[in-house]
Amino acid sequence: MPLKLNTYFEDFISLIYPHTCISCGDLLPKGRSDICPTCVYNLPKTKNHVIPVPQFAQKFEGIVKIDKVYVYSYFQKQGIVQKILHELKYNDNECIGVTFGRYFGKDLMTEASIPSFDFIIPVPLHPKKLKQRGYNQSEALGKGMAQALNAPLNLKLLYRKKHFNTQTKRNKIDRINIMSETFAVHDSSMQGMHLLLVDDVLTTGATLIACVEQLQKLNPASVSIAVLAGVK
C-alpha cells in the first residue's frame, strides 16, 4: 500500500509540476526525467567509431600520440547537445552525464575493434572548481561509460594542480601552452595498459593534449579519448 500511495503522490505532483524535455519542452513520458526519446533519437551523432571523422583526430596529430578519438555527437549552437551540456555543467544535473555516458559506451560496444580498456580516466577538475560545482561533469560521463564498457573508473591517477579561468578567447597555441603545466599524474606503472580519457567537449583539444602528455609518462600501451560533443 505505501508504494501505491507514493505512486499516486508522484502522479499528483507531476500534474502540478510536469516534467518537460530540456530540449524540445514537450511533456516527458513516465520514467523519463530529462530528455524525451524523440530528442535522443535526433541527436547529431558522429558515429566516428564506425566511420572516422578526420577533423577530430587532426586536432592532435603531430602533438601527442593518441590511439582513437571517439566523439559521441556534434556540437551545434542552440542544438540538443548544447542543452544537454548546459544541464550537465550548470543545472546541477549529474545524472544526465551518467545517462549519456552509458549511451555512449553502449554505442562503442557495437564496434568490435575497440580495445578492452584497463581504466577509464575522467579529465579532473581543480579542487576549487569541484567544490563550486559539487561534482565533475567528466566523471559523471566516465561513470556511465564504465558501466557500459565494464571497465574500472580511475579517479586517482590524473589530477589537476592549477586552476585557470575560461580559455575561450585564447587561440589553440596559447591554450596548449597554458594547459601544459596544469595536470600531473601520480607515479604508477601503466605499462601494457589501454587507457580511455573522458571529457565533455572537444574544441581545440588543448586540455586533452595536456592530459595525454601526462598519461604517456606512465608508458601505457595506448591512450584513447572519448568526448560527449565535438566541434569540427
Name the residue among 105, 63, 55, 88 with its Cα closest to residue 231. Answer: 55
Return d(Cα 6, Cα 9) in angstroms, integer: 5
Position 18 scores a pLDDT of 75
pLDDT given for residue 169 in this prediction: 61
Residue appearing with cell numbers 596529430? 61
Helix, coil or strand: residue 114: coil
The 10 Å Cβ neighbour count of residue 28 is 17
How confident is the model over 106-144, as pLDDT tens digits? 999 987 678 899 999 999 999 999 999 999 999 999 999
CA distance 67 to 196: 10
pLDDT of 13: 44
Query: How many CA atoms are closer than 13 Å to the CA of 227, on its beta-carbon side?
Result: 25
pLDDT of residue 171: 75
Number of Cβ within 10 Å of residue 218's Cβ equals 18
pLDDT, position 5: 44
Pick the closest to residue 222 from 115, 96, 80, 73 (CA basis). 115
* Domains of the chain, each with CATH number or no CATH: 1-42 (no CATH), 43-230 (3.40.50.2020)
Report pLDDT for 111: 79
Q: List all residues 6 or more positions away from 162 whose beta carbon is below 8 Å from its beta carbon.
A: 126, 181, 182
CA distance 223 to 142: 15
| DSSP-derived pairing of the beta strands 158-160 and 183-185 | antiparallel
Instruction: Spell out the per-residue pLDDT of the chain, length 232, in tens.
Output: 454 544 444 444 444 557 889 999 999 988 777 899 999 999 999 999 999 899 999 999 999 999 999 999 999 999 999 999 999 999 999 999 999 999 999 999 987 678 899 999 999 999 999 999 999 999 999 999 999 999 999 999 999 998 776 666 677 778 778 888 899 999 888 999 999 999 999 999 999 999 999 999 999 999 999 999 999 8
**Inter-residue contact 114 to 49 (CB < 8 Å):** yes
